[in-house]
Amino acid sequence: MRNFGVEEELLLIDAATGMLAPTAADVLHSSGNSTHFSGHDAQNVDAASLTHELKQEQIELVSAPFGDLSALSAAMVKGRQEADRLATLSGCRVVALGTYPMRAASSLVPLPRYLAMEGKFGITLKEQLTCGFHVHVSVVSDEEAVAVLDRIRLWLPLLLALSSNSPYWQGADSGYASFRYQAWRRWPTAGPTDIFGSADAYRRIVGILLQCDVMLDEGMVYFDARLSSRHPTVEIRIADVCLEAGDGAAIAALVRALVECAAREWQRGQPPLPCPTEVLRLASWRASSLGLHGSLLHPLENRLCPAEAALAAMLSHTRPVLEEYGDLRYVLEAIQRIKLAGTGADRQRRAFQANESLRDTVFDAAERTQTLIS
């Protein structure tokens, strides 16, 4: 059974007004980080750790690696609760939203790398304030990792649709279920990738990208899925942070199953199914736009189909591994819950329709951030 873990980016809001709060340094200091933003060293929050992100209005929760889904979901809930407790010491709350709904500006964490990015990327960096959900799954080698990337690329747009949780941007409904993904795609390396074929080919592509003198370093390889530079894992980065931890845990379980399925296909000598990267870009756009409403690209047939049919294809594909790992019931219940209650984007829009207040929508999201299952 492969180990897996997650990284959740969370926004910081003022507990009284709901406005963005540039208090990440204070929150990390409360957690025991007396050096503030001196590096990416995380502070222990039981089975998760807390660290800074790009902007002072956000923090990141990094889970430990787990083999058991129930342990991961419990750590995600406990990590969110502890992060919120620490935030309240500074008059703030944490909220799991892919984008901040109201009109606001954000402030950079003053690390040398981020300052260099600000000088190079201008307004893209200035306006960047999005929260993603990254899933790490263990692999035994770089060759296996790249074989996995080549075989899961078809499924990634569906993960985006399931996780979509960012309909609002700068005080307006963006018209997208995941506007975070639209904003994120402004970065030069963000998005889907071609089939690499081997670890050497992957490294060669990354080397060429670095030689173009656009990225500062390998950390700016923002592919939808990539090899981790710090851990023996593949890192799937396409999803929005989920409004509720239970949805995120289910998506993490699906990611682990997709990785295991891809590795087994590679071990059997089964080649990756072809799909032009240009088509995957459009598939991701549709998922970002529609969430689970309307037609999405069928992951195996490169044709439009109802979102329900795309989900059914993914569950059929991953069912043997989910059952083997003991995760099937949890995932089926979560997907049924998302179908009935909607994605995070749907829940945000319902909250807004109920009170016509983006501030109240933010506060509703802050409460949902602390629940496992609503």
Distance of CA 186 to the CA centre of its chain: 16
CA dihedral 268, 274, 279, 283 (to 10 degrees): -20
| Residue 91 backbone zone (phi > 0: left; psi -120 to 50: alpha; other: beta) | left
| Residues of the chain below pLDDT 70 | 32-48, 372-374
CB 59 within 8 A of CB 96: no
What is the pLDDT, as a whole number, of residue 48?
67
CB 53 within 8 A of CB 128: no
What is the pLDDT, as a whole number, of residue 214?
95
Collapse the DSSP code of 88 into the 3-class scheme (helix H, G, I; strand E, B; otherwise coil) and give the result: helix
pTM value is 0.94
CA distances from 308 to 116, 208, 252, 302, 313 (A): 44, 40, 20, 15, 9
The terminus-to-terminus CA distance of the chain in angstroms comes to 29
What is the pLDDT, as a whole number, of residue 229?
84
Instruction: Name the residue with tokens 């949780």.
Output: 165
Reference 93, options 184, 21, 39; nearest CA is 21
Q: What are the residue ranges spanned by the domains of the chain?
A: 4-369
Architecture of the domain delimited by 4-369: 2-Layer Sandwich (3.30)
What is the pLDDT, as a whole number, of residue 372?
67
Rounded CA separation 58/56 (Å): 6
Q: What is the pLDDT of residues 279-311, one digit of tens each?
A: 999 999 999 999 999 999 999 998 999 999 999
